Amino acid sequence: MSRSSARILDEYLVASAKAGDRRSFQLLARRWHRKLVAHAWRLTGDPDAARDAAQEGWIEIVRGIGRLQDERAFPSWAYRIVSRRCARQIGAAVRRRELAQTAVAEPTAEHWEEPGAGLDHDRLRAAVRVLPQEQRAAVALFHLEEMSVAEVAVALNVPVGTVKTRLMHARRKLRAALEGEE
């Protein structure tokens, strides 16, 4: 099995950059920058965010290239670094949009209606309003938006187990609040 000349050149440039050759690192960056930006763009969907993620990725690559043990691993290593940067950017964007606040906006009565349930919708909405913000968000996304636990976890940027715990505690509090009022 023969390796392509491009891969051999990349391996040589990585080895030289690890040895401290700045010119080799510049050539490596010139060869890989567009690929890393394109990868980031696919992940973020935003060209500006993609350029930022790739730039931040290069900072980490510069700092860590000396610890890269196998020159052949550079492509997957560099893509992984940029992928992590994109994930951080996406997580920050989600937090900035305050997804939890928008998910718990005052629900309308039709969201809660179940034929024959006989439940006072105002009492239920009031009970949901007093839940901690994290639990309100989980309840709203899971029950009102009909998202799966995994989807709620992605939306809130928390592990699946955390979503399950929040839903469990929220249900207990809602049950106690609604049964206590009867």
Q: What is the DSSP letter of 3?
A: P
Render pLDDT for 100-125 as a digit per residue (tens, 0 to 9).
Answer: 555 455 455 455 455 445 557 778 88
Q: Who has greater pLDDT, 93 or 6?
A: 6
108-127 b/e (C-beta count within 10 Å ≥ 16 → b):
eeeebeeeeeeeeeeebeeb
Q: In this predicted structure, which of 5-9, 34-38, 149-153 has the lowest mean pLDDT?
A: 149-153
Cα–Cα dist 159/10, whole Å = 37
Q: Who has greater pLDDT, 94 or 131?
A: 131
In the chain the first and final C-alpha atoms are separated, in Å, by: 76
Mean pLDDT of the chain: 83
The residue type found at 22 is R
Q: What is the dihedral of CA 53, 57, 59, 64, to 10 degrees?
A: 160
Cα–Cα distances in Å, from 66 out to 18, 28, 36, 55, 61? Answer: 5, 14, 19, 18, 9
In this prediction the pTM is 0.54
Token pair of 168 as six digits: 């469990």
Render pLDDT for 157-178 as a digit per residue (tens, 0 to 9).
Answer: 789 999 999 999 999 998 888 8
- Listed residue (134, 92, 127, 132) closest to 107, CA to CA: 127
